[in-house]
Amino acid sequence: MTAARALLQIEGLNKSFGGLHVTRGVALTLNPGDRVGLIGPNGAGKSTLVNLITGVLAPSSGSVHLEGTNVTTMSQAARVKRGLVRTFQITQLAPTLSVRSQVELAIHERDGSVRNQWRSVDAYPAVRDETQQILRHLHLSELADRRPVDLAYGQQRLVEIAIAMALSPKVLLLDEPMAGVPSGERDIVLKALDTLPPTLALLMIEHDMDLIFSFADRIVVLAEGAVLAEGPPAEIRRHPAVLQAYLGTEAV
Ligand SMILES: Nc1ncnc2c1ncn2[C@@H]1O[C@H](COP(=O)(O)OP(=O)(O)OP(=O)(O)O)[C@@H](O)[C@H]1O
Ligand SMILES: [Mg+2]
């Protein structure tokens, strides 16, 4: 596969904060339908990598290509418009705006259409219908008029996924979508991820090994900012350098 054909192609990505070299020569390719788990110890640089890919941070060097287009210096918004979407490790929901409104606003943002706040949503039937469809798909219809502050944490994370889906992603990067979700609510988030379009490329950061190994068909291990190993879950489970990074033992 050539660089031009990959959905997302990251090459030689580096990032330093002052003297701290946090991302070191990272290369990564995502194609339609990929389910990739990004793992690594705390501080390995996972969130930084997602920030570099999505344009929250500018890399010190290296490149990000989306469908063959160099997006390395594009704004976050420009990348979102091209289908590069992410969710955050710490929730970014507007706490008191209804679930329905937040999804509608995301659709308007995607389409670059300004919503006239004095007009009812019925003035935008396509937006209303698409919102209903997204909420139904994620089993959120019943909660459409509720505000995130009134929802369980697992449900809040589902709303974040709904907003991300409203942006029509081709690549979706999920930074610890299970963070803070009690174990009893994790299943609904996982089930929701299972229902996303099969052609979507999904990359998920997650610390729960059982969960990420069952979700992903490819695992990328980051340690001290560099890719330590990459491969199918069964291979990564037994990878000596991975065992050493996690367990701090000579596991060879
Ligand atoms: N804006 C910043 N300025 C300075 N240092 C930063 C900045 N952002 C991240 N770092 C440092 O970069 C390193 C990697 O942080 P990052 O948040 O990417 O790790 P992570 O793998 O996501 O960790 P966690 O699993 O705890 O979320 C850490 O040492 C962190 O302190
Ligand atoms: Mg992180």
> Tens digit of pLDDT for each residue in 236-251?
999 988 888 776 644 3
Tell me the pTM: 0.91
61 by DSSP, 3-state: which?
strand
> Tens digit of pLDDT for each residue in 145-167?
999 999 998 899 999 999 999 99
Which domains, and CATH codes, for the chain? 8-247 (3.40.50.300)
Mutate to test the pocket of ligand 1, among 21, 39, 47 (most ligand atoms within 8 A of CB): 47
Confidence of residue 115 (pLDDT cuts 50, 70, 90): low
> Tens digit of pLDDT for each residue in 174-218?
999 888 888 888 888 888 899 899 999 999 999 888 889 999 999
pLDDT of 252 above 80: no
- Closest listed ligand to the CA of 52: 1
Please identify, by atom number, the ligand 1 atom nearest to the C-alpha of residue 49.
Answer: 18
